[in-house]
Structure 1
Amino acid sequence: MGPWLCRVALFAACSPLAVAAQAHAGDTNNDADRRAATTEAAMTNEERVTLLNGILAMPLGDTKIPEGAPLGAGYIPGIERLGVPALTETDASLGVSYIGGLRGDGATALPSGMAMGSTWSPELMQKGGAQIAGEAHAKGFNVLLAGGINLVRDPRGGRAFEYLGEDPLHSGLLGGAAVAGIQSRSVISTIKHFVLNPTEIGRQFHNGIIDEGALRMSDLLAFEIAIEKGQPGSVMCAYNKVNGAQACGNDRMLNGILKGDWGYKGWVMSDWGSVRATDFALTGLDQQSGSQLDGAVFFGQPLLDAANRDKRYQRRIADMSRRILRSIYAVGVDRNPPRKAPIDAAAGAAVAQEIAEKGIVLLQNRGDILPLAATAKRILVVGGYADSGVLSGAGSSQTQGEGGPAVSLPTMKDGVFSALMAQNYHRSSPLDAIRARAPQAEVVFRDGRYPAEAAVAAKNADLVIVFGTQWMTEGLDVPDLSLPQGQDAVIAAVGKANPNTVVVLETGGPVAMPWKDDVGAIVEAWYPGARGGEAIAAVLFGDVNPSGRLPVTFPASVAQLPRPALPGAETVEPSFAGHGKPGQTLDIDYDVEGADVGYRWFARKDEKPLYPFGYGLSYTSFERSGLAVSGGASPTASFTIRNSGARGGADVGQVYLIETPKGKTRRLAAFARVELKPGEARTLDVPIDPRLLAEWGPKGWTIAPGTYRFALGASAEELIEETAVTLAGNTWGYRK
C-alpha cells in the first residue's frame, strides 16, 4: 500500500496497529515475492498442481480426509519437502463455522454482517476479525473464508445478513478492516464473492447484466477499497455469471480488472462447486475449491496434462502456485502455523457483545419510552423464542458456541446441507437478560403464536417487549419484506392493546412495518450473536446508549425497489445448491439502478423510504456543524460534532456528495464514528477518496472540472449543512 492510499483510506491498514501486526505476522511484500518465486521455481509440475485444488473437508460420499486435518470448509495438501504448509480452510465472516457440530466444538458467533455494518467502525471490525481469526488458528485453521462485502442491491437477498451494507465506501473500509484484523493473527483472509452476488435464487446460473462503468463505481469499488486496505491473501469468486461469463471463469473481471488494473498479487479461489472447466485457469482462476462438488477435478490431472503439452498452461500453473505461496509468506502462515488449543470463550463473548451493542439501531422512540423505567412492575415478553436465545442466519456462515444452538428448527428433512439450513438460535436468552436487569419486576413470557392471546396478556402489563424475527439463509431469498408466520399481526395486536410496546427486531435485513404507528419504540438488533440477549437488554434499559446507524435503506414497500418482483421467483426452483436445469439462465438487469444502489436509487427516484441509510437514534442528542471541504489532489472533509445531551454517546458524521458539474447526485463521500461525553465537541478531518467524486469511462476515472456540493448529514435523507468546492478536472487510470 503506497502513501497515497494511506491518505485516502480512512482508518487504513497502514495505521500503526495494522502495520505492526502485519510486520509481526509475515514477510514484507518484497520478501514474500522473492520467497514465492524461489519456492515455485523448485517445484515440479505435479507439486504445483497439488496446490491448485482442494476438497471439502467434511464426510461427503467417499471423500478421504487426511489424518490430522480439521473438519471444515476445505483442505489443500502442502509440499513437505519445500516447507510449504497445507491450507486448512474454515468459514466464515461471523466466526469459525459450526458445520452442524461435526467437530464437537463451538466458537464465538459474532453478530451478523449487517449488525457489524451498523457500527460504522473500522476499528471494531478489525477487533472482531482478529478475535475470530485467533479462534480459527486455535482450531487448526490457517485460512478463514471471511470478508463478505457484496453490496446489498436487494434486501430480499438470502445472504444480505452476511454483508455490510449498500455503499461501496462504507463496505470497503469496514470489510478491509476486518481482513486486516484476521491476517494480523497469521490467518489468510478472503474477500468474497467477486463479483455482483446480491441474490441467491438460481445462484449457479443467474446472469448479472450491468454496464462496466456502473459496476466500477459500485460493487467493484467496494472490493477495490477493501483490497487496498486489507491486502487479503485470496479473493473468492462468485457462483453467478457477470455479463454472460461465469464469475470464476470471467476473463474481464479476473484478469482484466482484478489482476490487471488493480495489480492484485494474491490468488483467486473458486466458491465451492463453481468451476466448469479446466480453461478457467486461463481466464483467471487460480484454485478449485471443494472439488468434489464440481463435475470433475478440473485443476487436477486435466490441468497437469494441459501444462505438460501447452506453454500457456505451464505459465499459468507457475503463476497460480506462486500467488498462493506469496500469500502464505506475506501473512506468515508458514512462520506461525496453527496450533490446536482451547479458545478464550469469555474474551470472544465480550467482543461479540460489544459489536452487538454498538450495532443495535434505535429506529423509533415515541414518548421516550426507552430506556425502560426501572419502576415497571409487570413486563410482558412476547415471541421470537426470546425465552431461549437469539436468531442466527443460516448457511456456511452458521456459527454456534459450545453445546450448539438453544433451539434448532429443521427446514429440510435430510441431505448433505440440512444442518447448514436449520433455523438456529444462539444460547443467549433475552428473557433471562431482561429478568436479570429488572429483578424487582414480574417478567412473563408468551410465545406469540396467537395474536388474541398476546393482546390479552399485553393489556395486563405495564410494558410489552415483543420480538419479531426474520430468518434468512444462504441459498434462498425471501419473497417479500414481511415478518413470516403471522408475526406482523401479533405485533399489531399487542401494540393496539398496550401503547407501551417496544418491538425488538432480529432480522437479516430491512423489513416492512405495517404496525409502526401502533407501537412506542422499535429496536433493530439484527442477528446479534453469542451475547445478543445481554446486548439487547443493555440497550433496552439504558446501560448502553444505542449508536448503530443503518447500513441499508429500509423501503416502505417492495414497490420502491428497482425490481419489485423478485427475479426468478416464478421460474426458478429454490434450492441451496441453486444449479437449476441444464442450460438454464436467469438474466437480472442491474442496469436499472446501475451504480445508484440503495439510498442513491431512492434519491434518484425521489422516493421516501421507511428509514434511510445512515439513520439511527440515541438517548442523547447531537449537533453537527462547520462543514468544510478542501480541494486539490487529496480532498478532505472537516466538520464538528457536539454532544448536546445529558449523557455520553456515539454519533456517526456523514458527508454526502450532492451535486457535481453534471447535476444532482447522492453519494457517501466520508464518514467517521466518534464517542463524546455530554457537552463535548470534536472537529474531525476525514479524507475523501477522489474516486467518489469521479465517474468511470473509457479513459478510467474522470473528475469533471467545476463546482462540487457536499452536505453534512445525520442520514442520507437528513442533510443539515451544505458547502461547495471548485475542483480542477482530472483523469487517471491504472498502472499496468
Structure 2
Amino acid sequence: MSYPWQKLGLNADQQADSVLAAMTDGEKFAWLSGPMAIPLHKGEKIPAEAIGSAACYPSIPRLGIPAIQQSDASLGVSALGGVRPGDHATALPSSLALGAAFDPDLAETSGKLLGREAFCKGFNVQLAGGANLIREPRGGRNFEYISEDPLLTGIIAGHNVRGIQSQHVVSTVKHFALNAQETGRVVADSRLNEAALRESDLLAFELAIEIGQPGAVMPGYNLVNGEWASENPFLLSKVLKGDWQYPGWVMSDWGATHSATKAARAGLDVQSGSNLDECAWFDHPLREAVARGEIDGSYIDQMIHRILRSLFACGAIQHPAQRGTPLDYSWHQLMAQREAEQGIVLLKNAQQTLPLPPELSRLVVIGAHADQGVLAGGGSSAVTPQGCLQLEGVDFMGIQTPKVYHPSSPLAAIRRNSLAKKVDFVSGDSIEEALNSAQGCEAVIVFAQEWRSEALDAQGLDLDDHQNLLIEQLAAVHPKVIVVLQTGGAVTLPWLNKVSAVLEAWYPGSGGGEAIAGVLFGRINPAGRLPITFPASEQQLPHPKQVDPSTTTSLPGVKVKGDIFQIDYNVEGADVGYRWFERQQQKPLFPFGFGLSYTQFSYDDLQLCQSSDTVTASLTLTNCGDRSGSEVIQLYIRPTSGRYPSRLAAFRKVFLAPGESQRVSLRLEPRVIAQWETTKQLWHIVAGEYDIFQATDAATPGLCGTLTISAHAFGYRVA
C-alpha cells in the first residue's frame, strides 16, 4: 500500500503536510497528551501499543504512521522499574566523561551506538541530549550534562544528537533552560538577565541545535524569570521558535505541564507524562479551549506538523524502528570502553607513579564494589544491563530506581592488565582490614565513589567521612596510594597532597573496568581534560550554601513566594565555572581543561588573523615525549579591557606519535567573542584589542597574542 507522503521529491515539511491533511481531530489530540508508559501502581495499564518506556503515542496504520515510542536517555536505553524484564542495554559513560574527551567525533560515534540500540529495541524517540550548563557543582544530574562551558557543551551535545538521529531515531535536547539543581526542582525559579542568559546557557543550546538539529526540545521542571519553562513565551516562542527558527516540537518533561491555553500559546506542543500532572491539560482542557476560541485550531495543526516533520526529517517514519533486531553487545561494550578511556582524567601523578609496571608481586584493590562493577548515576537515565549489581537507591516519581554498578569489574580488569602475581581485594568497610592488607604490597589502588541521582543533589562537595579517613590513613602507612574517583561531578580531595596519583573516571559505563585498568597500566595514555572546575572549597562558589526550599528563609538574597523560591544566577551571570574563578581571582583545586598525560607536548608559533568576519588562530603542536598520545588544544579569548574574563573560543583534540608535529588552524566561535545587546536584540563584537591564548587549562596560559578585532553586529533580526 502506498501513502501520499511517499510521493517522490517531497521534503519533510511537505510529507508532514500530506499526513496532517488526512488526520482526524481524535488522531491529532492523541499525539498531544499521553501518560507515562510505565505502570506506577499495581494493576495500572499502559497504552496498548507501548513497549514499556517513558511514553507511547498511538500509530495511525491507515496513514502508514508508526507509534511514537519514547525512551530515556543520554547514557543508554533505560528500562525504569524493570518495565521490560530481561532487557539488556549498553551503559555508556556519563556525559561528563564524554565532555572530558573534548572530541566531537567520539560524541557522534557514541550517539550512533545509542541510536542503533534504541532503533533495534523498537524506539523512535530518545530523550537524550542533556545540554544544561553545570552552574551548581552539587547538582544531582550533573553526570547527565557535559560541562560548565557553552562552547564545549553545545558542540559535544550537538554531535551526540546528530549521531542518534543518523539511526532514524529522533533525539531531544534538554532541559531548556537554567535547570541547574534537583533540590526543589519543580518550584525553583531560576533568575538571570537576558544578556547573561544568551551568552551562557542559551548559547549552549543554540550551538547544540544548530549542529545536531534535534527533532524535539524538552524544557525543564523549573521556572525561568518567573514563568514555568514549559510555558515560558520568551524561551519557547521568542528564542527557540522565533529567533532560532526551530522547526521541531517542544515536549514537556514528565509532570511539568501547568496549563492548557497558556502553555499552548507559549509554544509547548506536547504534554508528556500527563498522569503525573494535575490533569491531562492537552486533552479535554485544550479541546475546550479551541472550542471556546481561546486557541485557534491552526495551533493544533502547527503542533502536529512539528512532530511529523521531525519524524520524517530523521527517517523515523520511512524506516520504522525494528524491535527485536539482533545487536552486537560485545562490540558495543568495546565502544563504550573506548569512550570511557578517552574521558578518564589523570589529576595527579607524583614521581611518575603511573603507569604501573607489569608483573608486580602484589597489588591491593580497595573499595567501591570494585570486585563487581563500576558505579552509575541514578534516575531516568539509569541503564540496567543484565548482571548488574543493584543496591537501594531513590524513589523517583513513584518508581524505585536502584543504585547500579555496571558489570565491568575493575578488579578483574586489573588482574588481566597487570599480570601481577597476586591482586587482593578488600571492601574498605573496615579501615583496619584495609590497613592490614596494604602491608607488603607494591601499590594500593583505592576506588572512591560519590553517587548522584535525578531528584537527589549531592550534599556538599566532599566524599563521605569514611572514605576520606580510609584514604588518609592508607596514605600514612603506604608510599604508593593511587585513588580512582567515580563521581557525578566535582569533589574536594583533602588528602590530595598525601597520595601518589589520582584518576577521575566519572561513571565509566559498561566498559569502565577495562578502561580504568588500561590507564593504570599504560595501555591507554590518558587524554581526558576536566569539563568542570574542581573548587578548593564550597566557599569559592557563587552560591556557597545550597538553595533548598526548606531553608530558603535563612539564606540572604533568596526570595520566596508561596511554594516558589528564586535562585539568583545574576550573581555569576554569564561567568559560569572557570570564568567565575578568574573574575574572582580565586585558585581552584583543579581548573577547567586540566588533565595530565604520560607524554609531553610543546606549542610554537601562534599566528592570529581576522579576515572578513572570521577570527582564526594557528599554531604548531609537537609531541616531545616518548609515548603516542592525544592533546586537547584549548584557545581562550578575553578583551584587554577586562570587559569579560577568559572564554573558551575554540578547541581540538589531536593525536601525535612521539616526535611528531602538526600545524593546526582553529576558527574562533564569534558568539563567544561577542556580547549580547538586549536593547537591539543583536550579538555585538566590540572593536578593540583582544588577548587570544593557547592554554593547557583555563588557568594556565601558554602562547599568547593580541589581535585588534573590528566591530561587528549580527543577530536574528534587526529591531
The normalised TM-score by structure 1 is 0.92
Aligned residue type for 1:287? V
Hey, what does 1:359 align to over in structure 2?
343
**SS of 2:309's equivalent?**
helix
Retained in 1: the 8 A contact 2:49–2:58? no
**SS of 1:396's equivalent?**
coil
Distance 1:716 1:384 in 2: 31
Retained in 1: the 8 A contact 2:613–2:712? no
1:592 lines up with 2:574 in the alignment: no
Aligned residue type for 1:102? V
**SS of 1:635's equivalent?**
strand
Hey, what does 1:98 align to over in structure 2?
79
**SS of 1:256's equivalent?**
helix
User: How far 1:76 sits from its partner (Å)?
Assistant: 1.1
Task: Pick from 290, 296, 316 the counterpart of residue 307 of structure 1.
Answer: 290
Hey, what does 1:469 align to over in structure 2?
449
Query: Any residues of structure 2 matched to 1:91-130 within 5 Å, and which?
Result: 91-104=72-85, 105-130=87-112
Q: Which runs of 5+ in 2 are unaligned?
A: 1-5, 554-559
Hey, what does 1:346 align to over in structure 2?
330
Distance 1:710 1:275 in 2: 45
Retained in 2: the 8 A contact 1:29–1:330? no
Aligned pair in 2 of structure 1 residues 298, 653: CA closer, same or farther (>3 Å)? same
Distance 1:27 1:361 in 2: 52
Hey, what does 2:497 align to over in structure 1?
517
Retained in 1: the 8 A contact 2:358–2:419? no
Retained in 1: the 8 A contact 2:357–2:418? no
Aligned residue type for 1:166? E
Query: Any residues of structure 2 matched to 1:53-452 within 5 Å, and which?
Result: 53-61=33-41, 63-104=44-85, 105-279=87-261, 280-310=263-293, 312-340=295-323, 341-403=325-387, 405=388, 407-411=389-393, 417-420=398-401, 422-452=402-432
Distance 1:515 1:178 in 2: 36
Retained in 2: the 8 A contact 1:27–1:332? no
Aligned pair in 2 of structure 1 residues 662, 615: CA closer, same or farther (>3 Å)? closer
Distance 1:655 1:415 in 2: 41
Retained in 1: the 8 A contact 2:49–2:67? no
Aligned residue type for 1:46? G
Q: Which of 279-288 and 635-644 deviates more?
A: 635-644
Retained in 1: the 8 A contact 2:80–2:399? no
Q: Which runs of 5+ in 1 are unaligned?
A: 1-25, 574-580
Aligned pair in 2 of structure 1 residues 550, 305: CA closer, same or farther (>3 Å)? same
1:183-230 residue CA offsets vs partner (Å, 9 max, x unmatched)? 000000000000001100111110001101100000000000000000
**SS of 1:455's equivalent?**
helix
Distance 1:721 1:528 in 2: 34
Hey, what does 2:20 align to over in structure 1?
40
Aligned residue type for 1:584? D
Identity of aligned residues (%): 46
**SS of 1:185's equivalent?**
coil
Distance 2:644 2:119 in 1: 49
Retained in 2: the 8 A contact 1:360–1:546? yes
Aligned residue type for 2:627? R
User: How far 1:59 sits from its partner (Å)?
Assistant: 1.5
**SS of 1:321's equivalent?**
helix
User: How far 1:67 sits from its partner (Å)?
Assistant: 3.8
1:143-185 residue CA offsets vs partner (Å, 9 max, x unmatched)? 0000001000111000001100000000000000000000000
1:625 lines up with 2:580 in the alignment: no
Hey, what does 2:438 align to over in structure 1?
458
User: How far 1:79 sits from its partner (Å)?
Assistant: 2.7
Aligned pair in 2 of structure 1 residues 64, 583: CA closer, same or farther (>3 Å)? farther
Aligned pair in 2 of structure 1 residues 570, 459: CA closer, same or farther (>3 Å)? farther
**SS of 2:510's equivalent?**
coil
Aligned pair in 2 of structure 1 residues 572, 292: CA closer, same or farther (>3 Å)? farther
Retained in 1: the 8 A contact 2:629–2:657? yes
Retained in 2: the 8 A contact 1:278–1:302? yes
Distance 1:362 1:504 in 2: 9
1:118-139 residue CA offsets vs partner (Å, 9 max, x unmatched)? 0000100000100011011111
**SS of 1:35's equivalent?**
helix
**SS of 1:295's equivalent?**
coil
Q: Which of 651-660 and 323-332 deviates more?
A: 651-660
User: How far 1:735 sits from its partner (Å)?
Assistant: 4.0
Hey, what does 1:14 align to over in structure 2?
none
**SS of 1:531's equivalent?**
helix
Aligned residue type for 2:303? M
Retained in 2: the 8 A contact 1:470–1:483? yes
**SS of 2:519's equivalent?**
helix
Aligned residue type for 2:208? A
1:30-72 residue CA offsets vs partner (Å, 9 max, x unmatched)? 7111222232233333222122112211122464324442111
Retained in 2: the 8 A contact 1:51–1:78? no
User: How far 1:411 sits from its partner (Å)?
Assistant: 3.4
Distance 2:495 2:435 in 1: 14
Retained in 2: the 8 A contact 1:357–1:539? yes
Aligned residue type for 2:253? D
Q: Which of 73-82 and 533-542 deviates more?
A: 73-82
Distance 1:314 1:587 in 2: 36
| Corresponding residue pairs, total | 700
User: How far 1:640 sits from its partner (Å)?
Assistant: 1.8
Distance 1:70 1:343 in 2: 18
Task: Pick from 524, 532, 557 the counterpart of residue 552 of structure 1.
Answer: 532
Aligned pair in 2 of structure 1 residues 415, 675: CA closer, same or farther (>3 Å)? closer
Let me know the Cα RMSD of the aligned residues.
1.9
Distance 1:593 1:582 in 2: 23
Q: Which of 543-552 and 440-449 deviates more?
A: 440-449
1:425-478 residue CA offsets vs partner (Å, 9 max, x unmatched)? 011110111111233421111111133332232232111000100000001111
Distance 1:572 1:664 in 2: 31
Aligned residue type for 2:295? R
Hey, what does 1:22 align to over in structure 2?
none
1:701 lines up with 2:683 in the alignment: yes
Aligned pair in 2 of structure 1 residues 618, 90: CA closer, same or farther (>3 Å)? same
Aligned pair in 2 of structure 1 residues 289, 51: CA closer, same or farther (>3 Å)? same
Aligned residue type for 2:450? Q
Task: Pick from 691, 694, 710 the counterpart of residue 728 of structure 1.
Answer: 710
Retained in 2: the 8 A contact 1:451–1:490? yes
1:366-423 residue CA offsets vs partner (Å, 9 max, x unmatched)? 00000001142111111111111100000000012223x2x222135x7864532x21
Distance 2:7 2:712 in 1: 36
Aligned pair in 2 of structure 1 residues 706, 415: CA closer, same or farther (>3 Å)? closer
**SS of 1:596's equivalent?**
coil
Aligned residue type for 2:308? L
User: How far 1:304 sits from its partner (Å)?
Assistant: 1.6
**SS of 2:400's equivalent?**
coil
The normalised TM-score by structure 2 is 0.95
User: How far 1:625 sits from its partner (Å)?
Assistant: 2.3
**SS of 2:134's equivalent?**
coil
Hey, what does 2:3 align to over in structure 1?
none
Aligned residue type for 2:486? E
User: How far 1:589 sits from its partner (Å)?
Assistant: 0.5
